[in-house]
Chain A
């Protein structure tokens, strides 16, 4: 109701302080852009990292059989744990809370030969469930290893898009025959390119490795024991329970103390997710703080203008008081004016940030940096920060104005 006239007059007041107003606005604009862009970069980086993690597999646990560290029923400690594919598959039937599990046999540094070309890389022997656990999806026209391949020990191979590129170039790969250690394998599928993610064991990116059926791996290359296995709980909250059950079942099969956690080396990606979450919470807070300091400089400039206006308008404040302005009227008036200044600068800053993030979304940047994202959260945080800066920048000058004595403010008795 009484906000409009004071704002109209405020703009007229600001015209008397063009240079200062300009720099205060610039400061707020700059500060806002700094907050938004730093947070947006942090958010982009976070998204890149979690997508990377997603590339490895959501909430999966990778387990490597190790050695016992406790004596068990007369057996000494230090015995290696050896698991066959069937042992791992037993887990699925005995633990209903287990959503999926896949053993993995490993051959490192195998030359894969096609015609006169060859490419050395990791070959894994896996089960069909591996695809879903590790987010491995075929390109159109191909498929991953299926149950029949396992049962019939088909000599088929699924290759990464990088492998396909090396051996076939642009030519069609599905249906062609590759040779590994002299044995021919028919290509059944090529990996749909995914975000680069170094796998846990092979040391090669997903696009640069190949998979064959686990059963074929055992029969052709004489691999009896799994290198590792991957599993995931149905309910991510029950991951710890499932892991305890895994120890119990395997301890029964292999004969070791179920409390002996050294028998398996575990890499729990759901834990990784948490770590990444907290890391980026800290990281983004830090980036945000850097932005906040810049914003504070702008806030101080606004407070400075407001102090100046209070001094310059002392007699006008006296006039307002003489005709009946209460403390809160004066307070609200100056607070609002500071907020308007900050809002103007903030809006410009948000606009500039939006333009810059949009441009950066188009221009290709190194993948590892991620693409800055002006998420709703980033905007909300910025608006809240701007509000706080505005209130602080306005409050102290406003309080000074409101506590003036009317007669003195009017200039009686000399100031």
Chain B
């Protein structure tokens, strides 16, 4: 790390974060003390075996969930201790989240799905529609705005989900195995889209099982059994 790194360049900081889920009588320790710093505009891949805690980390980073112990600072502000409404506000404006299984509203059209975050941001209907159509165009779905999710292919659905994640112009994009449910061709297209979004200046963090995909990120974080594992690498040098 070079000396010029200033504090505000560290966009997300996890310190000694644990997450414990109660499971009947026992407890599942999903995260066992994670320390992680993510700078603005980084492109990060999170790798790890199933059950290692990748999704749990992403949910905490995305303010969908809170740590059992430890602290999380986003953009210089402490996240732990915020109430559900404040977390909702952050999810709405600062973070776009993309899921493995798309998570689109099944009875809403592509356009209506993309409008959803703007609905909760209090934007009026005409602006919403115009904005949603523009972002759908940007992800290459100009002709699909009125389709329902079940009328779209997997790759198209994930594009709708990405458009939805982008629509409130968040600086951070989190994607939990975005290509996991896609064939290799659509997966490659989605990956290219994320690379493009990164070049446009966004911080992108994506979870994957695929070493090939991981190799295209600037930095790889390996999770093993709830901890940041050995072999987490920095690809910066190699890429530049």
Contact = CB atoms under 8 A, between A and B. Distances in A.
Q: Do A and B associate with each other?
A: yes
A325 B59 contact: no
Contacts of B97: 322-323
Interface stretch (A5-13, A94-102, A218-226): A5-13
B147 interface: no
B219 interface: no
A323 B120 contact: yes
Interface stretch (B42-50, B109-117, B230-238): B109-117
B123 to A, nearest CB: 8
B120 A2 contact: yes
Interface residues of B, number: 33
- Which residue, of B104, B105, B122, B168, has the highest number of chain A Cβ atoms within 10 A? B105
A105 to B, nearest CB: 82
A324 B120 contact: yes
B70 to A, nearest CB: 17
Interface string B119-134: 1111011000000000
A104 to B, nearest CB: 76
Contacts of A200: none
A88 to B, nearest CB: 78
B107 A9 contact: yes
A319 B104 contact: yes
A319 B107 contact: no
A271 to B, nearest CB: 60
Interface stretch (A249-257, A278-286, A407-415): A407-415
B91 A322 contact: yes
Contacts of A9: 105, 107-108, 112
B119 A2 contact: yes
Contacts of B55: 412
A319 B125 contact: no
- Grouping DSSP codes into helix (H, G, I), strand (E, B) and loop, the A interface class, with mixed when no group exceeds half, is helix
A1 B120 CA distance: 10
Contacts of A323: 91-92, 97, 116-117, 120, 164
A323 B161 CA distance: 11
Nearest to A402: B84
Contact of B120 (A8, A13, A329): A329
B103 interface: yes
A24 B197 CA distance: 48
Contacts of B92: 323-324
Contact of B125 (A1, A320, A406): A1
Interface of B: 21, 55, 59, 62, 64-65, 84-85, 88-89, 91-93, 97, 99, 103-108, 112, 115-117, 119-122, 124-125, 164, 168
Given A324-B91, A326-B89, A326-B120, 5 more contacts: A1-B122, A5-B112, A319-B104, A324-B89, A410-B103
What are the nearest 4 A-B pairs in CB distance?
A324-B92, A323-B117, A12-B107, A324-B120
